[in-house]
Amino acid sequence: MDVPEFPLRSNPESNPDPAREQKRNEISLRFQLGTRRILAKGSICDHHPNVVHLRVLPNCLDWLLWPLLHLLPAPLRDMLRSSWPEWFLPPKVVLKRKKKGWDAEFENEKAIYQQLVPLQGTVVPICYGEADCPATESTETRALVLSDIGGIGLYEDAASGLDTEHVESMLLQSLRALASLGVIHDDSKLDNYRIVGDRIMVIDFDSSYITESGDTESYAKNDAKFATELYWLAHGGTKPKLI
């Protein structure tokens, strides 16, 4: 007896629709940063679900306050910004929510950002402070509000084709800057390094630490070498001399 043939139903998980995936990751939320209650909309990071890229949605008070703040003399405006950064947020921010049970890592990252204040905005993101946000199944209510630095992750296809010596040089420059303030990154995954303009910026300081050792140069070199190896293994190209 012939068995009738039925067309196979496509599995949406095996053939994901990019538009559908993007919509599924969209999120709207309110969070409290200092004296400001903020409404924002954005998307959850694909490979780090505790991280949300957000666009701040101004309310009526924001529209009234911002022109007044920008009329203030620059020294006074800078003083207010340092005390109340919530009122000087850029249009796009990143909300890094604390994972459940990651109390030590969260406190550590806060301390590292405080140590790296002189490098914020150039080598590392700006940290605007700790916020209170809705909890989820995997995250708690605490979060860090960071600047969205944009750029291209070293793991992305768009970052391929670079000379490995140039990659190592950019990495070493940034990691030396961290080490000059006593910070050892100690997490050389490629998604922790982003090409922004003509430099590499460093993110994710859960496992970083502050050292009083005078030999910070060797730490920076080792981290840069290891990340360069990972870049070469991921993208190919010229084999680094260090391998």
In the chain (243 residues long), the average pLDDT of successive 10-residue segments reads 38 48 75 97 94 96 88 90 94 98 97 98 98 97 98 95 94 97 94 97 97 87 94 84 55
Task: Looking at the structure, tell me whether residues 214 and 159 fall in a common domain.
Answer: yes
Task: Looking at the structure, tell me whether residues 184 and 216 fall in a common domain.
Answer: yes
Task: Looking at the structure, tell me whether residues 104 and 134 fall in a common domain.
Answer: yes
Task: Looking at the structure, tell me whether residues 83 and 131 fall in a common domain.
Answer: yes
Q: How many residues does the chain have?
A: 243
Total domains, the chain = 2
Question: How open is the CA angle 193-30-49, to the nearest 5 degrees?
Answer: 35
Position 3 scores a pLDDT of 37
Task: Looking at the structure, tell me whether residues 138 and 118 fall in a common domain.
Answer: yes
Helices marked H in 12-163: 18-25, 60-71, 74-83, 103-115
Residue 14 is assigned to a structural domain of this protein? no
Position 69 scores a pLDDT of 87
Residue 50 is assigned to a structural domain of this protein? yes
Q: Domain range for residue 195?
A: 152-235
Q: At what angle do helices 216-235 and 164-180 cross, to 10 degrees?
A: 150
Residue 208 is assigned to a structural domain of this protein? yes
Residue 47 is assigned to a structural domain of this protein? yes
Kindly report the three-state secondary structure assignment for every residue of 15-47.
CCCHHHHHHHHEEEEEEEECCEEEEEEEEECCC
Q: Is residue 167 within 8 Å of residue 154, measured between CB atoms? A: yes
Residue 40 is assigned to a structural domain of this protein? yes
Task: Looking at the structure, tell me whether residues 85 and 139 fall in a common domain.
Answer: yes
Position 237 scores a pLDDT of 74
Task: Looking at the structure, tell me whether residues 126 and 23 fall in a common domain.
Answer: yes
Task: Looking at the structure, tell me whether residues 132 and 201 fall in a common domain.
Answer: no
Residue 177 is assigned to a structural domain of this protein? yes
Residue 11 is assigned to a structural domain of this protein? no
**Given 99, 124, 147, which residue is the final one in a domain?**
147
Position 1 scores a pLDDT of 42
Task: Looking at the structure, tell me whether residues 78 and 196 fall in a common domain.
Answer: no
CATH of the domain at 204: 1.10.510.10
